[in-house]
Every structure is written in structure tokens, then in C-alpha cells.
Amino acid sequence: MRRVLILGGTAEARALAAELTGEGTHVVSSLAGRVRNPRLPVGEVREGGFGGPDGLAAWLATERIDAVVDATHPFAARMTASAAEASARTGVPLLLLRRPGWRESPGDAWQRVSSLEEAADRLAEGAAGRVFLTTGRRSLPVFTGLSGMWLLARSVDPPDAPVPAHVHVLLDRGPYTVEGERSLIHEHRLDVLVTKDSGGEMTSAKLVAARELGLPVIMVDRPAPPPGILLVDTVTAAAAWAQG
């Protein structure tokens, strides 16, 4: 039976595992193991890092993997680079499944930036006092030093370190609704939204709410994929490729 490794942690990875399982493919889904209570895909699941490209290359050989689909989050750049290197070394074919990024619509006021640090710089330059921060708990230290600002930081799991008094952590996990996002913006009197360009529908409601309410958005661009990597943007295309 064909054996496919899905590097996961996304809704697309779960959908792909469901689509491939039962179609004559043995799927192993891999999770980083950092979320406390992850949504699990169907089929076999392994958790934790491989130990860099060397570890992944060894693992692919031991597990007799025929193909790898990297369906990690668009900002999981280290895992993607590691998969590209392990694939080049072992000859195990690799596909990158990456959902499309978000596109600006009329009425949006987005500023695109290339890093979290640049997003923090833009905040520091602006007049905004109350910030809706959705860039993930691990990015929090980049923003907590900004003076004169209050942050609503929404994340799936709590931040590791204690947060200062001017940061309010909201633990939640998508999908979100436009109505819910609108209420949140009103309730906390938010002036600006900071987000990564994750793409997808699970978390896009905040962008619609921001547009409707005239809220500016600081959008952190995705890291570029490794050069030469084969890339698709739908689960259907990835499933067709993975079936060989």
C-alpha cells in the first residue's frame, strides 16, 4: 500500500487525510505537538519534531514513505524548509499544499509588511491605541513593549510567559463569524487589526468586520516557499498528486 506523510496542523491537512484514507493510501499525519488539545485528523497520527532535515530524512526511510505532502500553515517556514531538504536528499517526492493568501477588497485599508517586527514598527508610528492582535501567542513578545498601547491578543493556547497588564489574552479558536468579530471590535473599542496573511475562511471574518467598521489592518506577508518546490493550493489537487 502507498504510504503518504502529511505534515499537518491545518484544516487542509485534516481534509486531505480524510480524502486519502480509504482510497488505498496509508496516511500518516504529523503534528508539531505544541497545541494542547489539537483537532486530530483521521488515520495514523504522530506528534513532535523530527529533529531537522536529517531526522526527517531518516524517518522517511524507516517508515518507507512514498510521498510527502507539506500541508503545514503558510508561516511554518522551518518545517517547510526542512521537508524540502529531506526530500532533495532522499528522493522522496514532496508537494507543498498552501492555501491562497487573502486579497484586498474595495473598502479595505491594509498595510502589508514583511515581518512581525515591521508590524510592531508600524504600530509604533501610528496613532492607534487599542490593537487587535491575531498573530499567535509566540509572537506576543514582539508587541508587548509598545508604549501607550493596549492589546487584545487572541490565541488558541495561553502564552508561555506572564503577560503585562496592558495585554488582554483572549483564548479562542476559529472558525469565527463576522458578527462575532464586529462585536469584539466594538466591545474592546479596537483601533487596528494586526494579522498574518494566513489565508483561508476559518479566520477571515475579522477582515470583513474590519472593512465594514473602517478599521486599518496591518497584514504580515507570508514567507516565500523554498525555490523549485512543487506547489498546489487545493486539497483536491494535493489528493490527486498523492495518489500517484
Provide the minimum distance between the beta carbon of 107 and ligand NAP in the complex, in angstroms, as a whole number.
Answer: 26
Round to whole Å and give the CA distance between 185 and 206. Answer: 9
Please, what is the Cα angle at 57 between 56 and 63, to 5 degrees?
85
Site for ligand NAP in 77-106 (CB under 6 A): 77-79, 82
Q: In whole angstroms, how close is the CB of 142 to ligand NAP at the nearest point?
A: 13
* Residue 200 three-state SS: coil
Which range of residues in 49-57, 88-96, 159-167, 209-217 is near ligand NAP by CB under 6 A?
49-57
Contact segment (CB under 6 A) with ligand NAP among 48-56, 60-68, 94-102, 166-174 equals 48-56
Q: How far is CA 207 from each of CA 85, 86, 116, 132, rounded to the nearest angstrom? A: 35, 36, 18, 11
Considering the rule CB under 6 A, would residue 31 count as an interface residue with ligand NAP? yes
Q: What distance in Å separates the CA atoms of residue 233 and residue 210, rounded to the nearest whole number?
A: 26
- Identify the residue among 27, 28, 75, 152 touching ligand NAP (CB under 6 A): 75
CA distance 179 to 2: 44
CB of 53 to ligand NAP, least distance (A): 8
Are 98 and 231 a contacting pair, CB within 8 Å?
yes
Name which of 8 and 159 has its Cβ closer to ligand NAP. Answer: 8
Contact between 41 and ligand NAP by CB under 6 A: the answer reads no
Q: Work out whether strand 110-113 and strand 25-31 pair parallel, antiparallel, or are unpaired.
A: unpaired
Distance separating alpha carbons of residues 82 and 210, to the nearest angstrom: 36
Q: Pick the closer one to ligand NAP by CB: 142 or 191.
A: 142
Write out the H or E segment, with its range, that includes residue 154: strand 150-155
Q: Does 76 sit near ligand NAP (CB under 6 A)?
A: yes
- Report yes or no: 119 and 220 within 8 Å, Cβ to Cβ: yes
Q: Work out whether 51 is an interface residue with ligand NAP (CB under 6 A).
A: yes
Query: Which candidate, 204, 230, 176, 232, places its Cα nearest to that of 12?
Result: 232
Closest approach, Cβ 214 to ligand NAP, in A, equals: 27
129-188: contacts with ligand NAP (CB under 6 A)? 136
Which DSSP category does 75 fall into? T
Site membership for ligand NAP, residue 7 (CB under 6 A): yes
Site residues for ligand NAP per CB under 6 A = 7-10, 30-32, 34, 49-52, 55-56, 72-73, 75-79, 82, 136
